Structure 1
Amino acid sequence: MDSETTCLSVAMCMDFLLIEPCTGCAAPYGFRNIMSLSNNANRFSGEVRRAAVSGNLDAPEGGFDAIMQAVVCREKIGWREKARRLLVFSTDAGFHYAGDGKLGGIVKPNDGECHLDTGGEYTHSTLQDYPSISQVNLKVRQNAINVIFAVTSEQISVYDRLKDNVEGASSGMLSNDSSNVVDLVREQYDKISSSVEMKDNATTDAVKVTYYSACKGSGPAIQTNKCDGLKVGDVVKFEAEVEVTNCPSDPRKWKQIFKIYPVGINESLIVDLEMLCSCPCEEEGDQWFIRKAEQCSKFGTYKCGICECDKTHFGRTCECDSDNIHGAPGLPVGGCRLDNTSVVDCSGRGTCVCGVCECETRENPEEVISGQYCECDNFSCDYANGLLCSGPDHGTCVCGKCQCKPDWTGEACDCRASSITCIPPGGGEICSGNGDCKCGACECYEGKEGRYTGKFCEKLPSTSGRCLEFKDCVQCQMYKTGSLTAEECLGNCTFTPSSVDVIEVHEEAGEVLCAYFDEEDCLFAYVYTYSDNNTLIVRAQEERECPPEIHVLGIVLGVIGAIVLIGLALLLLWKLLTTIHDRREFAKFEKERMMAKWDTGENPIYKQATSTFKNPTYAGKSC
């Protein structure tokens, strides 16, 4: 009886623990969808505040169940088709994964399907095991969702390793009070949205997909499947090269369908691939199957238009054997390799025929592969400004290196060989004596007052260069003002400025901005620079910026009028207030008079203002 009582007590305690794992806590559950995706921020905040805390009996949590249901229950969660999908997973604990369910007697594997009831409750927590990492990765990839793991510092190392196994996932450290969750999500979203990564789901080893892109550059494409640092509106082009490396032994795998897609974006390119691994002409009895054929010098079998030579012959038509190989003696494969360290014939860009390289031809007829070992070409030299060897005017590509014309030098023939472009107009020292001429341009020295600037290093930061020198000519030619007369302007000015509406300065082109006030207190601005042949170029603002005209008399009259109006307004206000006050006093007087206790006729102390006296002798008769 004692043991039975003990067992009953333990069961009751366990039942109580599961119903209320802590004071005020909700009973544990696998996953619950509280609210579908919505733009109602107030409701979302309310649901977060009302969310009850729960607990479980061990440290790891069933986060994989939650991720799986949030990913696959697309309609109940509210995922839109044409939208970038982010799933933020926040926790301070580890996770259960496939196999842990066996500890509770659950052996049925996770099926990766949606199991939410009408109330949003996950119904299979006790029916099937947790998902595996590969299952989570598969469903995330199929539904084009980017997972952001926002975890505390104790768990960040675990989830850093986890994100490497979930496509498109990222991780960030959450503060203990979760105050940085918004900044963390924004930071991770910026990383996700500024990057494009191409992937494919080709599963067989016989298919190799290689990606090429120049990302945001204009040069040749390089082998990469990811471009970073993108902004809204940037256009990135990827080229995918699909290569069949070998024919699978299972003929059912000769026809495959796979997708090429950007990670985290619900778009894809479907590739329907059919491998030509078997042809009827490879079977004996076909008209294109001929043993010891004339086409193969009678030393091989003609299959599908190609010779399959016997063991002692080789070559396209089996015309080569050990007696007629020619090439450099002592080199392997009859001289088709550059030296003993080479592992490929003809530099990998040609075919070795009887010890001689036959180089490949390119789709572009102007691109040529040449050399005894096909080691040279005229298209793989350095580019400058998007042009091979800076263009035909600067140099040509010979055997992978630029051969520059006499006036040019540099790896891409983009530097002038002469220093004449570094000499200021009118002569003088190279770079005004304040710099070195490199690649046809001045590199300025650092002076006591700062670095020299300008195309010819003629300007210090504390000086105005040649601005003052050009000021009078700009004034007289553009605005007909200044100290020069029309005749002096015509005779002294050696340049004619061009007019622009707004002055824009391109410092990288060596332009210098000048701005002055003239005698009318108007601001005018202009820039000067030099062309490639050292010709002075001046651009001036078409209209001066003059202060508005001030009408003194109008201002004085306006002030006087304002003072008069203010005085009249004050008088009227005083009159109004006085009238109101008098009327109130009169009304008060009338009220007090009406409420007097004695009438004026009954007041015993009241006396008339006049007195009447009667003459007793007067009889009312007139004289």
Structure 2
Amino acid sequence: MDGVILFFGLILLYSISNVCTQYCTGARCGNCLINDGCAWCKDLKYSSRRCATENQLAVDGCSAIVKRKDHIVQLVQDDDFSDGGPGLEPVQIKPQKIKIKLIPNKRLNNVMVFYKIAKNFPLDLYFLNDASYTMRQLASSLNRLADDIASDIATLTTDFRFGLGTAMDKVINPFTRQDPKYLVSPCGDSAIYCDLPYSFIHRQSLTNNIAAFTRAVRNVNTTGNQDATEGLFDGLMQIMVCGDRIGWRKKARRMIIYATDINFHQAGDGRVAGILQPNDGLCHLDSQGKYTMAEIQDYPSVGQILQKARENNINVIFVIGGANNKLVRSLYYDKLAALLPGGFNNASELTTDASNILDIVGNSYRRLRETVNLKIGKVPSRELDVEIYTNCRTGQELEKTQTCTGLTLEKWTNFTLDIISNITRCPDQRVSNFTLFPEGLEELVEIEIEHVCDCDCQLEPEVEPDSDKCSYNGTYECGICNCNPGWIGDQCECDDRGTAEEACGTPNGICNNAGNCTCRKCECFDGYSGDKCECNDMNCRNYNKLLCGGPDRGRCDCGKCVCNANYTGEACECLMSTASCQTNNGTVCSGNGDCVCGRCQCRSGFRGEVCDKCTSCPGICQNNKDCAECVAFGSGIYNPTECTQLCTNVRTAPILEREIFPGQHTNITIKSCIIEDDQKCFISFNVYDSDSSQEVVVKDTKRCPAGSPDPLTIGLSISGAIFLLGLLLLLIWKLLTMLYDNMEYSRFESEIQNPVWERSKNPIYEGCVTTVENPMREEHCDEELMN
């Protein structure tokens, strides 16, 4: 049973090892170690897979294993907390700069950030008041309570400044009355002194001179508009974006007390007055502090107000007065307050005489000071996650939150950062930055992240640039060559610069479509050769059904056989030896031919295995003439007895065949003969000469010349031909004249039968009666003059 368990355990371990090995991939050490659990072998002569688990590398015999490194956190700037004060810089958050060398795909825990309230942290407090008649009590309270507000703030910080601005609405119909009466008395009553209408006026820059602030409040007069809703958003935007004019300090808590008793105009409302240009979110204050684009640009949107408040770290506290302050606050300002920086979920309410402004300002600052909301600036990549934890509420267990409340000068808190890298490959930009900052404050923590993607063996001093191990064309690192651009191969020995078309291109394609272009050279497929695979090594002749007669005889090279020694021929079918062509006396082919492929090729007129027989020598036809003549025609010098005895190999035939035995293939030589006998006739016969015998076949007819022509016959023939030709011409002429006469006669008859012929007048006919008229007489004597 134990053996079975051990067997299945080994299978499980092997499967896990295979899974891990498959997960570990990377052509370079750094790319390999991006994967958690992977290691790299940097042995020079290691031949197995270099990127694998540490156990697998050890099993494969690697002695130099590179493992993943740990994160390195370095505090670049870590100034201690400071309460500030005259000549001192307050410090509430530390460390101020952190540099982290981050290992990819590995969680970094417990990066600590601490926050503590500075007793004298600067405060910039700006009052934006609704200058309408119904809010006059607020101006009176500010004038009366300015010193008390300053005294209360002084218990929290000694470094504070106040500023003032008032806002009403755009000076254009239908927001502000434009008839002359109200242009003179904006409040509608000449007994009430009011300032001329305006949108926003910046009246007092931030100052620690409380007397100057009080004078600015005292100089504010009410003004009027037409519709119930007011345009304080124009003023709020200018206060947030005109930093130099307002006097905002870089390192101070910035607060705006927004005091009104009515709803606000926002983007889109300007269209009723024909104002279509959107608010650009820029500063437009003139030298007198007046907003100059009120009647040109629309009101800001709620989104723009939120954006500018976050960009400039400004906390807005809404203070709502008037008889309907509870309704106005709940309908409009509570929801807006919850969206703005500072963590205020609702607005504050003024009493009827606005005397509680002192408590509102003090309590708002205390609440802002005692709360910290740690924000993360833009993280440089989606593969980087930052999580914030703190134990400020529990005191022991960490919880994932960015906000701590209830802080005091003695009670401070710490935040824990967890940074998670989820990259699958090393980014091109290895160094990136992001910030942490308390919401509403300019203080921040700068964090620099460097992705450590390279192993130590890829860096100085271990790395070897342009190493001889890499053919001087690459960097030797971690046991392998990292080739320079344009070079490939295990030792960077292959030149891969340029295109494949330039190095291996042919009209028929890369390497003639018969190979691959590697290292600017063609690597041909099996059966092809040549610099650009132009040779087909399977396209040679066969002998005995083998290419070039088989490997014992030769090989195919670029379509032609290259024969081994002792063989020749197009298919290496021929032996180089001439032993089989030699005669007994040692001559080759009897001197009458050439020994080709072990056999004699005889010259014309010779035959036989060694060309020892002459088939076209002079006398062969003449030697057989007498027998041919006597056998076929019984003539010649032989009598019948001699012919029978001497001419046994002669016979006749009506047609001379090319073979002695038609239809059968025998090794014979045929000699055709034509001879002339005594009568000038031509006798045709063939001599069939084989190695064993000689046969003569005579055509049983002969061609004799014709006799001399008879002159009489020739003369009679010519005379008869001339006579017949003349007779033929005469007949043709007679036939043509008969046809013509017949046509003329037919036309004559046709004209005779035509009736018009009878009525026609003869042109030469003259009448027989002549009438003469006497000019002296009126009567005519026709009868007397008739002849």
Instruction: Give TM class, smaller chain.
Output: 0.3 to 0.5
Q: Which has the higher contact order (CA 8 A, sep 6+)?
A: 2
Instruction: From the CA coordinates, give the structure whose radius of gyration is larger.
Output: 2
Q: Select the structure that is richer in strand.
A: 2
- Normalising by structure 1, we get a TM-score of 0.39
